[in-house]
Amino acid sequence: MGLRERKKAETRAALSWAALRLAVERGLDNVRVEDIAEAAGVSARTFNNYFSSKGEAIAARHLDRCLGIAQALRERPAEPLWDAITRAVVTQFGPDPAAAAHPISDASKWAAGARTVVAEPALQGDLLRAGAIAEAEIAAAVADRTGTDLKQDLYPHLVASAVMAATNTAMAHHLRADPPVPVGRLLTDALAQIAAGLPTP
């Protein structure tokens, strides 16, 4: 990735994180595009170059990480499929540089606010779209890795759907668990349980 592309990715991540952080702190209805842009240090016009709405900006954090799973899976060396998937997933859900720039002061308040935000009816369409895009990319990566056919074989789609389900379930459990359970541990556990029932063809 060149410098220009890296800068664009950093701006996109900063806007997405700012949108989520402000929605958690204030409530989705109390956040304007101008607020998000200001928090990310850019103009509202720049925001509109990346996202069509604050909902799309919030969903983009999860989308980018899940698209990263597909990319990481393609880059993994030859190894058992579910080992490769687990490593690809856990790597993508490690520390977030955008979040590190604006740390969370109260983890329990953050979890409660994040639960409220992701349950917002206004966000559901954006979250579903993001999930569908990511799932299609993961399915393509699985098909490449297993020599299966995206049009003819169920397997890559089933695996991609299972990966997204595991990711979403682990994230939701992380937000509701008290005390919090590390996301990496939840993801590893969820994928191990699925792997035990979905052998590679």
**Residue 22 domain flag:** no
**Residue 82 domain flag:** yes
**Residue 40 domain flag:** no
pLDDT band at 181 (very low <50, low <70, confident <90, very high): confident
pLDDT band at 98 (very low <50, low <70, confident <90, very high): low
Q: Region 32-37: what's the mean pLDDT?
A: 96
**Residue 138 domain flag:** yes
> Do residues 198 and 85 make contact, with C-beta atoms less than 8 angstroms apart?
no
> Do residues 13 and 98 make contact, with C-beta atoms less than 8 angstroms apart?
yes
Closest CA to 126 of 14, 7, 23, 9: 23
pLDDT tens, 129-140?
Answer: 999 999 999 999
Please give the mean pLDDT across all residues of the chain.
90
**Residue 111 domain flag:** yes
pLDDT of 112: 83
Q: Which stretches within 30-181 are classed as H helix?
A: 33-40, 44-50, 54-75, 81-92, 97-101, 107-118, 121-146, 155-176
**Residue 100 domain flag:** yes
In what helix (H) or strand (E) does residue 13 lie, and over which residues does it extend? Answer: helix 3-26
DSSP reduced 3-state for 52 = coil
Q: How far apart are CA 90 and CA 97, in angstroms?
A: 15
Identify the CATH number of the domain in which residue 72 sits.
Answer: 1.10.357.10
Q: Region 183-190: what's the mean pLDDT?
A: 92
In what helix (H) or strand (E) does residue 194 lie, and over which residues does it extend? Answer: helix 183-195
* Domains identified in the chain, total number: 1
Q: How far apart are CA 150 and CA 73, in angstroms?
A: 16
Question: What percent of the chain is predicted at pLDDT more than 70?
Answer: 93
DSSP reduced 3-state for 140 = helix
> Do residues 45 and 64 make contact, with C-beta atoms less than 8 angstroms apart?
no
172 lies in which domain range?
A: 59-195
